[in-house]
A and B are shown apart, each in its own frame.
Chain A
Amino acid sequence: MMKCKQATQMLSEKLDRPLSAKEKINLAMHTAICGPCRQFGKQMEMIRGLSKSYSKAKESDDK
């Protein structure tokens, strides 16, 4: 069974590479029962979104 430590790494790597079918299943099983890792996954996506806004804001913050 996947632990939070591995799950969080998968949730990050998901942003960098396609996970294998096995990884996907293990991760889904973990997040199904683990609220903190679900939040962590959302926060990873938020950090990606924020980074995008950040570099965009830098490019055109004079509107």
Chain B
Amino acid sequence: MTNANVSVEIDSSAAVNIFQDTVFIEDLRTQMLKFARLQVRDNQIAEDAVQEAMISAYQNIDRFARQAAFKTWVFSILKNKIIDLLRKEKRHTAASQLEDGPNLNGDALIEHLFEENGHWQKDERPKKWDQPEHGVENTHFWRIFDACLDALPAKYGRLFMMREFLEMDTPEICHNEEVTVSSLNVTLYRARLRLRECLEDHWFQKETS
């Protein structure tokens, strides 16, 4: 009996240490919460998902040795928990339906970008963006990216993240959110339009000017 215990302890000691690294865990928790909140826009569900993911990680800790792998793994658990909770809740908070945001959105943004005849407004024509490689290592860039995601109307942000971060496919999102395929596609278009505008205003244009 003691033998078995000892061997378990040795195998998982490195991994258990991860949970004793309070700075690392606190940091990780913050990131997970941010991720979950952006995804569900509901503090309670977000916190539940993070907590369940943490518990699940702790219970299955013996599978892990390295911190980097640990983090990837915890996030994959979190993604599944979020999907589970969203599925279970089938909940549409009023906020998740909103197209409002701090900026022009939807038809107003489209009107702003395009002339009546359907061509780009002169000032709004997309110009070449500098290589993002340069930005990828850049924490300032990611802070702006973060802020632009936050500024998306709740409905846009939610569907955008399901598609781009959780990599859910169209039938899955449509089923889960009770939206039609064409309405999903239009919403994703509008979300990308908004995000593009925000990135251009706050990063790409500033950089070249």
Decide if the interface of chain B is mainly helix, strand, loop or mixed: helix
Instruction: Give, as a whole number of angstroms, the nearest-CB distance from A61 to chain B.
Output: 8
Nearest A residue to B69, CB-CB: A60
Nearest B residue to A3, CB-CB: B118
Write out the residue numbers on chain A whose beta carbons fall within 8 Å of the beta carbon of B29.
none
Contact B185 A13 (CB under 8 A): yes
Contact A9 B120 (CB under 8 A): no
Nearest A residue to B34, CB-CB: A58
Contact B199 A3 (CB under 8 A): no
A3 to B31, CA, bound (A): 41
Instruction: Give, as a whole number of angstroms, the nearest-CB distance from A53 to chain B.
Output: 6
A residues contacting the other copy or chain, number (CB 8 A): 35
Contact of B193 among A12, A35, A52, A58 (CB under 8 A): A12
Contact A16 B184 (CB under 8 A): yes
Whether, in the assembled complex, B71 has its beta carbon less than 8 Å from a beta carbon of chain A, the answer is yes
Which chain A residues in 32-63 approach chain B with CB under 8 Å?
35-37, 39-40, 42-44, 46-55, 57-60, 62-63
Instruction: Give, as a whole number of angstroms, the nearest-CB distance from B142 to chain A.
Output: 7
Instruction: Give, as a whole number of angstroms, the nearest-CB distance from A23 to chain B.
Output: 12
Which chain B residues in 90-149 approach chain A with CB under 8 Å?
110, 114, 117-120, 125-129, 132, 136, 142, 145
Nearest B residue to A12, CB-CB: B189
Whether, in the assembled complex, B58 has its beta carbon less than 8 Å from a beta carbon of chain A, the answer is no
Contact of A51 among B127, B165, B185 (CB under 8 A): B165
Nearest B residue to A39, CB-CB: B126
A50 to B196, CA, bound (A): 11
Which chain A residues in 15-39 approach chain B with CB under 8 Å?
15-17, 35-37, 39
Instruction: Give, as a whole number of angstroms, the nearest-CB distance from A10 to chain B.
Output: 9
Contact B192 A47 (CB under 8 A): yes
Q: Could you list which residues of chain B lie within 8 angstroms of chain A, going by C-beta atoms?
A: 24, 31, 34-35, 67-68, 71-72, 75-76, 110, 114, 117-120, 125-129, 132, 136, 142, 145, 160, 163-165, 170, 181, 184-186, 188-189, 192-193, 195-196, 199
Besides the known contacts A12-B188, A36-B126, A37-B126, 12 further A-B residue pairs in the complex with CB atoms under 8 A apart = A3-B118, A3-B119, A5-B119, A9-B189, A16-B188, A35-B125, A40-B126, A44-B196, A51-B160, A52-B164, A54-B142, A55-B75
- A sample of 9 cross-chain residue pairs with beta-carbon separation below 8 angstroms, ordered by A number, consists of A4-B114, A16-B163, A16-B184, A35-B125, A43-B126, A48-B164, A51-B160, A60-B68, A60-B72
